[in-house]
Amino acid sequence: MKFFILDCNEPLSVNSEAMMEIHNTFRVGGIRLWSSGKGHDKPVPTPIEIPFDTFREYSGAPIEFLDVGIPIMSLRMANALLDAGVNNIEFYDASLVNKQSGKTFHYKAFNIIGLVSAADLKRSAWHSLDGDVQHTVSFERLILDESLSERLDIFRLAENVKAIIVSERIKHILLSKGINTLKFISPEQWTMV
């Protein structure tokens, strides 16, 4: 099975300037770990309200997917994943609120359950400042051992939890739903240093 690193194109001006800034935090209701691969053991207060600013007269929708602080995705993306049978994500109601207009967008905060050690460290170009090969490994070139994916369609890479890995099946499903703002990066092309 072929896999990709999931990312998202943010709204940019014709001069490649940011059109919005989401003021996301890491903590809600005492919960701050969203990339550990483990389920939350405390109730998550919902809806999670996240403010954002727009620039350069931008009036479009917020970014489709953001994995910073409390990870968020659009309702249409969450529904597409659920319709595809993905069952290792906890979803929480979230609202993105435009600070200028007051307009609210209904989103989902998410927590992916499962870290998979799928990096082929013998063939990848990587380094670790503390010698540990979990959570924060820097990659100049990532080669996945696709046999270690445990047949999950979406998971976080145990060696670097900022890498959300999706299967080719999920890529095709998301694109077939008209979600064209996402980037599906080949692992060999992904750099995280």
Q: pLDDT (tens digit, 9 = 90+) per residue, 179-188?
A: 999 999 988 8
Higher pLDDT, 193 or 168: 168
Q: In what order do the strands lie in the sheet with 48-54?
A: 20-22, 48-54, 89-98, 104-112, 72-74, 65-66
pLDDT band at 75 (very low <50, low <70, confident <90, very high): very high
**And the tokens for 150?**
């445990």
- 193 vs 110, residue with greater confidence: 110
Residue 125 pLDDT: 61
Domain of residue 65, residue span: 3-189
Model pTM? Answer: 0.87
pLDDT attached to residue 16: 83
User: Average pLDDT of 157-161?
Assistant: 84
Q: Specify the DSSP class assigned to residue 11.
A: P
Tally of domains within the chain: 1
- In this structure, the chain runs to a length of 193
Res. 121 pLDDT band, cuts 50 70 90: confident
Best CA proximity match to 156, nearest among 108, 114, 111, 185: 114
